[in-house]
Amino acid sequence: MLKSTLEQWRMFKAVVDAGGFNQASLVVHKSQSSVHHAVQKLENAIGVVLFENSGRKVKLSPQGEVMYRRATFLLDEAQKLESIAYSLRSGTETTLRVAVDIIFPSHLLYNVLNKVSEEFPLLRVELEETVLSGSNTLLSSGNVDIGISPFLYPSGFSEDLCEIEFAAVAHKDHPLHQLNRTLTLEDLKSHRQIVVRDSSAERKVDAGWLGAEQRWTVSHIRTSVDIIAQGLGFAWLPIAIIKNELESGLLKPLPLNNNAALRKALLYLSFEDGDALGPAARAFIGELRYQTMQLPTSDFMDWDLSLIHISEPTRRTPIS
């Protein structure tokens, strides 16, 4: 059986934090004698002297310093325990599971998650980074609550979220740039293309132009960017992700005819059943909608060979 109580430890911590018994009594809204009595009972119960005599000042004993650190942890955990009980009582989920296609702007995602975490500080977030049909596969298997995917979710709810702009790019010294003329897709066939593999284990999907005779397939878009930045191939990459490389001139858009260098992909926000979503999931969806609606719609930047958007994804009006 425990010899001490949380209330006694709270009084002890208040005395240390406030700098004295009188000051602590004002913080905890109790009389000085009540605070002093609680601490005295605590010392008697545990058999440890917590404070040293130092005139009018309160000074922790060496043992008291150890106990203060442990008491702080104990009281923090007790507060968390009560907060979790409140969340469970009010129906708030403890974990939010989200699958997001890797072409979605990461800084925007982090902003959304941070806002939701501020509102639900005890919420655990499990983030799955996916490619192509990966988000929908995780959603259909029940492994995530919300998915962001370039494909409509066939068995649940989907709404337009935003458009992602892609550009065909290569290193500034890549042989394709040395041709010094407008390129055709035929010109690309004899050069190495870097593509990202569908992360779904069930249904592999190909997207975009895949006509190169030699292809390197990778599992993450940052790997593709690294390879291309070393001059080892070309690829269609999300402009928002390679903005710095484009602005520095390290990567250059391929001067393809008929605007073939540019591509757009629509991303969808999907979930199984809106009624089954908890408050945190609803907050995530609301913040995601809001932030994508704030994205700039146009921001042009001049390059040597073409004008291509260097902007965040184009806003699309969500389905109500």
pLDDT confidence of residue 294: 76
Hunting for tokens 């260097």 — which residue is that? 310
User: What six digits make up the tokens of 91?
Assistant: 């129906």
Number of other CB atoms surrounding residue 267 within 10 Å = 23
pLDDT confidence of residue 92: 78
Instruction: Round to whole Å and give the CA distance between 279 and 93.
Output: 7
pLDDT confidence of residue 276: 81
Instruction: Round to whole Å and give the CA distance between 42 and 39.
Output: 5
pLDDT confidence of residue 79: 83
Calculate the alpha carbon distances from 312 to 59, 76, 166, 255, 298 in Å. 57, 41, 11, 22, 8
pLDDT confidence of residue 260: 86
User: What six digits make up the tokens of 291?
Assistant: 């932030």
pLDDT confidence of residue 205: 58
Query: Averaged in consecutive runs of 10 residues, what is the pLDDT profile of the chain (320 residues)?
Result: 91 93 92 93 94 81 94 89 71 90 92 95 93 91 94 92 94 95 93 87 61 88 94 94 93 91 92 88 95 63 39 38
pLDDT confidence of residue 310: 36
| Phi/psi of residue 175, nearest 5 degrees | -55, -30
pLDDT confidence of residue 192: 95
Q: Give me the torsion for CA of 134, 137, 139, 143, rounded to 10°.
A: -90
Instruction: Round to whole Å and give the CA distance between 149 and 138.
Output: 11
pLDDT confidence of residue 273: 86
SS (H, E, C) 124-138: EEEEEEECCCHHHHH
pLDDT confidence of residue 204: 58
pLDDT confidence of residue 77: 87
**Is 70:59 a contact under the CB 8 Å cutoff?**
no
